[in-house]
């Protein structure tokens, strides 16, 4: 099975810099075999956190883990026995090592640009969503109002998009 890995240029507006992350175009391994993906970056890996994420075809992005500026690591619980993240500070290269990979691990893998330590002190947490539905009176009058409360999530910048028949109809507040 194939692992597709893009080359990415990312611009950080807060510091006005472009960071380059270079990865191989694609890698192929047999099920059960190990895999190492390298990611050479244009910033000092000793100065920033860097995360690895993946996206299987037709699915959402999945956070794998990160390596901190000091070399500490954290992983998604369900993947911590499958992947390890290391780095070579002399060449500013990061490595994602996978073991016992299976066809369900086929995905596009990204090394994710330099995070400030504040942004990923903790692994991402999905929000708890509470949707307030319209009253029976509103439904009867055909003037429905909805509200959505998102709580207990990290990082704090999320955007809520309202869908009708699986098509976006409105965007909510961006936190």
pLDDT in tens, the chain (175 residues): 444 444 444 434 444 444 556 666 677 778 888 889 888 888 888 888 888 888 888 888 888 999 988 899 999 999 999 999 999 999 999 999 999 888 888 888 888 765 544 444 445 667 777 777 777 777 777 766 667 777 776 655 566 777 778 887 766 544 3
Q: Which domains does the chain have, with CATH numbers?
A: 2-115 (2.60.40.10), 128-174 (no CATH)
**pLDDT for res 6:** 43
With tokens 């060449």, the residue in question is 91
Please report the pLDDT score of residue 7 as a whole number.
40
Instruction: Give the length of the chain.
Output: 175
Q: Where are the beta strands (DSSP E) in 104-166?
A: 108-115, 128-132, 147-151, 159-164
Is the full-model pTM beyond 0.85? no
Q: Whose structure tokens read 């999320």?
A: 158
pLDDT of residue 20: 59
Tokens representing residue 41 in the block? 């970056």
pLDDT for the residue numbered 114: 55
Residues 37 and 27 sit within 8 Å (Cβ to Cβ): yes
Name the token pair of 159.
């955007």
| Residue 127 half-sphere exposure toward CB, CA atoms < 13 A | 14
């Amino acid at each position: 099975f194939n692992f597709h890995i893009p080359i990415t240029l990312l611009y950080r507006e807060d510091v006005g810099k472009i960071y380059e992350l270079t990865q191989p175009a694609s890698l192929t391994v047999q099920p059960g075999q190990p895999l190492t993906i390298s990611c050479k970056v244009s910033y000092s890996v000793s100065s920033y956190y860097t995360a690895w994420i993946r996206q299987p075809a037709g699915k959402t992005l999945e956070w794998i883990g990160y390596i901190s500026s000091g070399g500490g690591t954290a992983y998604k619980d369900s993947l911590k026995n499958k992947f390890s993240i290391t780095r070579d500070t002399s060449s500013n290269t990061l490595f994602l090592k996978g073991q016992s990979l299976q066809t369900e691990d086929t995905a596009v893998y990204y090394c994710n640009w330099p995070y400030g330590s504040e942004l990923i002190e903790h692994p991402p947490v999905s929000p708890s969503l509470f949707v307030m539905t319209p009253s029976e009176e509103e439904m009867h009058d055909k003037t429905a109002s909805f509200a959505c409360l998102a709580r207990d999530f990290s990082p704090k910048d999320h955007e809520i998009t309202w869908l009708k028949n699986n098509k976006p109809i409105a965007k909510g507040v961006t936190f």
